[in-house]
Amino acid sequence: MTPTPKGIPVGSQAPEFALKDNHGRTVRLSELRGGAEGDDGGFEGDGDGRNVVLVFYPFAFTGVCTGELHALRDELPAFVNDDTQLLAVSTDSIHTLRIFAEQEGLEFPLLSDFWPHGETSRAYGIFDEEKGCALRGTFVIDKRGVVRWSVVNGLPDARDLDEYVKALAAL
């Protein structure tokens, strides 16, 4: 039996990624950071960056995933504003994500970790090799690219949206 992924630890630098969104645009974590890059590759200063709520979910069009993304949609001002950007990631193709977003009224970026399959999910330590998808991992990343809070749930277990809000308020 394969061990269950646990995610990267709080306090670590969030792995960089460049993923296509549901409109085919490339989204890079580094473009959301504030401050200038220092000699050690880290970022210095507070800058004008944004905190990121990075939500991995297994598959579009499934019950628990759709419910979780609806909850985020319904509380969108808490997650998409001048200070914060919500990014949702699955291993679905951009074409699937485009239809899913349109059908469900999701107006935040849905990122495709389709190819290389699950590369970003693996980098965050939450790819389920047996199922071929990400677990329900959420990472709150500060403006300097440091993971400040995370939770990883198994495939059938929905997350508590209020916990994201508390984590953002603590930044």
Active site residues: 65
- Tokens representing 153 are 């749930």
DSSP line for the chain = -PPPP--PPTTSBPPP-EEEETTS-EEEGGGG--SEE-TTSSEES-TT--EEEEEE-S-TT-HHHHHHHHHHHHTGGGTSSSSEEEEEEESS-HHHHHHHHHHHT--S-EEE-TTTTTHHHHHTT-EETTTTEE-EEEEEE-TTSBEEEEEEE-TT----HHHHHHHHHT-
Distance CA 127, CA 135 (A): 6
